[in-house]
Amino acid sequence: MSLLAEMNQKALNLGLPISVHLDVTYRCNERCVHCYLDHDDHGEMTTEEIADVLAQLAEAGVFFLTLSGGEVLMRRDFFEIVERARQLLFNVKVKTNGVMIHEKEAARLRQLGVEQVQISVYSDRPEVHDAITKLPGSLKRTLRAIRFLKSQGLKVTIANVLMAGNFSDQPGVIALARELGVAYTLDPTITPKMDGDTSILALRIPGSELKQVFHSEELVGNVEEFCAPPPAPGEDVMEGFPCSAGHTACYISPYGDVFPCVQFPLPSGNVRRQKFLDIWRHSPQLKEVRSIRAKDLTVCSACAHVGTCTRCPGLAYMEGNMRGPSTADCEKSFQRTGIPSANMLRRTRAGSTGPLIQIQSLASSLQNHPFSGEDSLLTA
Amino acid sequence: MAEKYIARSSEIAARLLGGEMMVMSARDSTFFTLNEVASAIWQAADGRTPLSQIVAGRICQEFDVDRERAQRGADRFVDELSQHGILLVSDQPLMNSSPPREGR
């Protein structure tokens, strides 16, 4: 077990939040076709409110802080927020599209001791990338930002969200990352919009392309091992937790709402009305999330993939039951191993062959692989 | 032998977790955990207090260890962390350093 995994386990045992994802704004200068956010400002937390939240998070034991959005630099006080976070000694990761990062901003991020910057790149071709962001010239500006950040010695990761429209450009983005000397992470996650609109799920890559991803040695390393049939689950698996959401990690929106994860929209409290630690310790919603073991899952507990599936409780929740299956993850397990999930078999028996809904992050099972960029802190 | 003054780099992240200090360098993403003794030295690294005084005044008192042994351990610890740029070491006080807040 790595030192980091040991610390995660320790945080889990102590019931401490070691990792928080804080969106500082939902406003954005891009209008990405797959984005799930409403970009209007409905009353973001002020600088002082965020500073207070940061102090509470430090007191609660949070170490890893992801600052994201929207586009973080749409906030004029963004560097002040980073400065406050660094004064509190968080390990800060920033997610941005980079469009507003020039030499001065890159130097400031470096000076403040940001640990890494993740930037979304959808294609190595401007006509494809800019069509996704709906911002002409955005690829050029994003790549310029990456060069500025690299020249400052910052650790940069390109996040490549895969959709049907840019799937074929994925090797080009990998080559681009190599040329720029930055890390690459692949994310085939498309989630419904916050208002429940599922139309963007039509952008997802089809199963055949997902299979191609899972069987790419460049992406997954040892394909035989990665795509091996799942071993029979032991008692430890059945007593295990699905992921870090609500256990050692949570998400806070620009309006102060607390959720188990950015991908798990179960309202669990608001830091404008309650202290963060009160929410973390006493929220009935977080307690319910924490109570779920693999053995409690309605369909998945009987599935061959239960011990190896990347089942996302947030996606399951969005499908109607946080204890139920996440069909996108059923698809992933199937495309990876060729073995249908219990949920797929059930649906087939019921005569339903409806399309699979979405594809989520490959995070926890793919640590140490090129597309292991998400924030999962529980080892699978 | 010259005095050593130690201060925490501004390029680190740190947090106490159940009595152990987690420290990560933003420069090279090296991750450390410090035991209780190392954590105590870390917390006392204000750039103004000589290492020998930290050892005598804090480590020996709090952890019931003889001074020579504690000093050897502290020197090793300081050397290792300074190699990763996590601790700054000088034979003069590091006056500009202010103790960061690592919570809990």
Q: Report the C-alpha gap between A235 and A295 in whole angstroms.
A: 9
pLDDT in tens, B73-92: 999 999 988 988 889 999 99
Q: Report the C-alpha gap between A87 and A65 in whole angstroms.
A: 13
Contacts of A63 in chain B (CB under 8 A): 13, 15, 17, 22, 24
Q: Report the C-alpha gap between A126 and A324 in whole angstroms.
A: 40
Q: Report the C-alpha gap between A322 and A154 in whole angstroms.
A: 38
Q: How many residues does chain A have?
A: 380
Contacts of A82 in chain B (CB under 8 A): none
Q: Give the one of B13, B27, B29 whose C-beta lies nearest to A89's C-beta.
A: B13
CB A159 within 8 A of CB A119: yes
HEC per residue, B10-44: CCEEEEEECCEEEEEECCCCCEEEECHHHHHHHHH
Amino acid at site B11: E
CA distance B99 to chain A (A): 10
β-sheet bridge partners, residue B16:
B21
> DSSP string spanning A94-148?
EEE--TT--HHHHHHHHHTT--EEEEE---SSHHHHHHHHT-TTHHHHHHHHHHH
Give pLDDT, residue B1.
Answer: 64
A89–B14 C-beta distance less than 8 A: yes
Give pLDDT, residue A380.
Answer: 24
Q: What is the CA radius of gyration of chain A?
A: 20
Please state, as a whole number, how many other Cβ atoms lie within 10 Å of the Cβ of residue B11.
19
Contacts of A89 in chain B (CB under 8 A): 12-15, 100-103
Give pLDDT, residue A357.
Answer: 45
Residue whose token pair is 């998945």: A300
As for the ipTM of the complex, it is: 0.84
- The interface residues of chain B toward chain A in range 2-31, judged by CB-CB distance below 8 A, are 10-18, 20, 22, 24, 26-27, 29, 31
Q: Which portions of chain B are predicted below pLDDT 70?
A: 1, 96-104
CA angle (A293 as vertex; A289, A295 as ends), nearest 5: 140
Q: Report the C-alpha gap between B65 and A330 in whole angstroms.
A: 57
Q: How many residues does chain B have?
A: 104
Residue whose token pair is 């400002």: A41
Q: Give the one of A7, A87, A92 whose C-beta lies nearest to B22's C-beta.
A: A7
CA distance B86 to chain A (A): 12
Q: To 10 degrees, the CA torsion angle through A157, A361, A121, A185? A: 30
Give pLDDT, residue A77.
Answer: 98
Contacts of B13 in chain A (CB under 8 A): 63, 89-92, 113, 115
Instruction: State whether residue B85 sits within 8 Å of chain A by CB.
Output: no
β-sheet bridge partners, residue B25:
B12
Size of interface A-B (CB pairs under 8 A): 71
Contacts of B33 in chain A (CB under 8 A): 3, 6-7
Q: Which portions of chain A are predicted below pLDDT 50?
A: 355-380
Q: How many CA atoms lie within 13 A of A130 on its CB side?
A: 11
Q: Report the C-alpha gap between A371 and A373 in whole angstroms.
A: 6
Cite the DSSP H helix spans in A239-300. 276-282, 284-291
A62–B15 C-beta distance less than 8 A: yes
